[in-house]
Amino acid sequence: MEKNKKLKAQLPKGFRDNSEDSIDIRNQVINIIRNECEQFGFKNIETPALEYTEALGKFLPDVDRPSGGVFSFQDDDGQWLSMRYDLTAPLARYVAENYQFIPKPFKRYQFGSVWRNEKPGPGRYREFIQFDADAIGISNNYIDAELCVIVARIFKKIGFSENEYKIKYSSRIIWENLFKQIEIEDMQIPAVLRAVDKLDRVGINGVKDLLLKGREDQSGDFMEGVNLKNDQVNKILDFISNKNSKDDQLSSFEEYLQNYKDLPFEFDPTVVRGLEYYTGLVFEVELTTKVVNDKGKEVIFGSVAGGGRYDKLIARFGKEDVPATGISIGIDRLIYAIEQFDKIQSNKKPLIIIANLIPEQISNYLSIAEVVRDEGYACEIFYGSNNLSKQLKYSDKRKASLVIIIGEDEIKNKTISIKNLTVGKELSKNIDSREEWKELKAGQFIINKDDLIAELKKILG
């Protein structure tokens, strides 16, 4: 770097900072999810952000090799490490490594950041938080249905009604049967499934282009097609519109769902999921409510969760085929939806700020702060300028509920002035002049020092 050259304060592309309100909503959502999982007997585990690259495998959509879709570096022993792109591949490694020690069946849930080294775009980030719930060692498809019911209960607890979302499901097996009938080559299958998975984004004509020669997206980038024959493409498009295909897994899955007829489940053969490790049932949760996008156009919000059965993933580590299934929720995308549809409000603790008017009184301010904190309230002392006006402006920006003011008069009279900023804002709306405001001291009142906690409980609860 050149000497004296200033650094540019800039986020890397595809990453973002999170506000206090978003973090608070996220914590509320995580608590709802955690409670639902534990009520169904799922236990929490955590795996590290880094895995050996070969352990993650070549399963990312839209790329043919891990280094094309993940962030990787070479360790000092020569082995390549990558940041996880989902929570499922690390789980497969964990189960294989600890197979003899874990209870079987093994039901786990996990929250964590994942990273995709992909082209960022609107709403498409390179780092995001996922939630996963998985069941290992159960071949009965009732467990697949149970995972979908758990997610439905989560959405209900968050505040989404049954007409605001739907859980769509299908099976990779019915697609495999189709591929055999129309003689799709094995090496073409992943690209075909990725093309079908883009139906919501590119429409039926876009899928057709991707199955044929390819298509150019809105940015001008050209995506190569699968180069299928016209009759193969036509049979795939006919299959997409046909909702009568069934197999044994789907029948068992639907038998379980008969007990939850009030929940919005729907069979949809276009649900294939982009990841290549799925082997059977696949499912996706879609918000059907409309939002206005960056271009001012009203669109369906779309997918916020998905998953499926991956019975052969753990066998990559030398184990026998182990039945496994799981579902993921994109936490960041779900929180964005929650904020768009105003489903959960930020629920931060009320903040009390003690104005620091007389530096020599710091011991007094500290003792009051400790009493307030011991009652469970958030409290801070202002350590900047002694100017009260500046301290009140700071308190307003911090969205504090109350300001405790102890100046010379309060010390002399053993009193405390409390300024209720919320009430003050309402009163100030009807005050026309600065002189009137100063005279009224909107929202401010005086109490005896010994009555502080009782007054706080009266105001804040």
pLDDT higher than 50, residue 437: no
SS3 labels along the chain: CCCCCCCCCCCCCCCCCCCHHHHHHHHHHHHHHHHHHHHCCCEECCCCCEEEHHHHCCCCCCCCCHHHCCCEEECCCCCEEEECCCCHHHHHHHHHHCCCCCCCCEEEEEEEEEECCCCCECCECCEEEEEEEEEECCCCCHHHHHHHHHHHHHHHHHCCCCCCEEEEEEEHHHHHHHHHHCCCCHHHHHHHHHHHHCHHHHHHHHHHHHHCCEEECCCCCEEECCCCCHHHHHHHHHHHHCCCCCCHHHHHHHHHHHHHCCCCEEECCCCCCCCCCCCCEEEEEEEEEEEECCCCCEEEEEEEEEEEECCCCHHHHCCCCCCEEEEEEEHHHHHHHHHHHCCCCCCCCCEEEECCCCHHHHHHHHHHHHHHHHCCCEEEECCCCCCHHHHHHHHHHCCCCEEEECCHHHHHHCEEEEEEHHHHHHHHCCCCCHHHHHHHCCCEEEEEHHHHHHHHHHHHC
At 201 the pLDDT is 81
What is the pLDDT, as a whole number, of residue 431? Answer: 44
Residue 204, both tokens = 């039926």
pLDDT in tens, 248-293: 899 999 999 999 999 999 999 989 887 778 999 999 999 998 877 6
> Minimum mean pLDDT among 150-154, 194-198, 326-330, 418-422: which range?
194-198
Max avg pLDDT among 142-146, 172-176, 389-393: 142-146
Residue 269 CA to chain centroid, in angstroms? 26
**Res 428 pLDDT > 50:** no
Does residue 137 surpass a pLDDT of 90?
A: yes
* Rounded average pLDDT over 392-414: 93
Q: Where in the chain is the domain with CATH 3.30.930.10?
A: 20-168+244-341
Percent of the chain with pLDDT over 90: 61
Report the pLDDT value the prediction gives residue 37, as an integer from 0 to 100.
98
Statement: residue 160 has pLDDT above 80: yes
pLDDT digits (tens, 9 = 90+) for 299-355: 788 889 999 999 999 999 987 789 999 999 999 999 988 988 899 988 878 999 999
The pLDDT, as a whole number, for residue 61 is 58
pLDDT of 71 above 70: yes
pTM over 0.85: no
Give the per-residue pLDDT at 407: 92
Average pLDDT value over all residues in the chain: 88
**Picking from 157-166, 205-214, 238-247, which range would have the lowest pLDDT averaged per residue?**
238-247
pLDDT of residue 353: 96
Least confident of 66-70, 79-83, 296-300, 428-432: 428-432
CATH 3.30.930.10 fits 20-168+244-341, yes or no: yes
Mean pLDDT of 91-105: 94
| pLDDT at residue 436 is higher than 80 | no
**Is the pLDDT at 226 greater than 60, yes or no?**
yes
* CA 88 from centre of chain: 16
Query: What tens digit of pLDDT does each residue of 344-391 get?
Result: 988 878 999 999 999 999 999 999 999 999 999 999 999 988 899 899
User: Is the model's pLDDT at 429 over the cut of 80?
Assistant: no
Res. 296: pLDDT tops 80 = no
User: Per residue in 40-58, pLDDT tens?
Assistant: 999 999 999 999 999 988 7
Question: What number is the average pLDDT over the span 229-246?
Answer: 86
| Segments of the chain assigned to CATH 3.40.50.800 | 351-460
Q: Which amino acid is located at 56 in the chain?
A: L
Q: What is the pLDDT of residue 224?
A: 86
Across residues 156-174, what is the average pLDDT? 94
Q: How are strands ordered across the β-sheet holding 298-309?
A: 43-44, 106-115, 127-136, 324-330, 298-309, 281-292, 165-171, 265-267
Separation between Cα atoms, residue 92 and residue 87, nearest integer Å? 9
Report CA 416 to chain centroid distance, whole Å.
44
What integer pLDDT is reported at residue 347 of this predicted model? Answer: 81
In CATH, the architecture of 351-460 is: 3-Layer(aba) Sandwich (3.40)
What is the per-residue pLDDT for 68? 66
- pLDDT bracket for residue 10 (50, 70, 90): very high
